[in-house]
Amino acid sequence: MPTLEIRQRVNRRLEELYRRHLSLHDDEVVSYYNSGIGYNKPEEIAEAEQAPFSISLATTDGEVFHAGDHDRPFALQSISKVFVYGRS
Per-residue pLDDT at 12: 96
- For residue 46, give its domain range: 4-87
Q: What is the model's pLDDT at position 80? A: 72
Mean pLDDT, residues 82-88 taken together: 71
Give per-residue pLDDT as tens, 7-62: 999 999 999 999 998 877 555 555 566 666 666 655 555 555 566 788 899 988 89
The stretch 68-85 carries a mean pLDDT of 75
40/73 Cα distance (integer angstroms): 17
Residue 36 DSSP symbol: T
Q: Mapping DSSP to helix (H, G, I), strand (E, B) and coil, where does residue 66 land?
A: strand
The total number of structural domains in the chain stands at 1
Cα–Cα dist 34/12, whole Å: 30
pTM of the complete model: 0.59
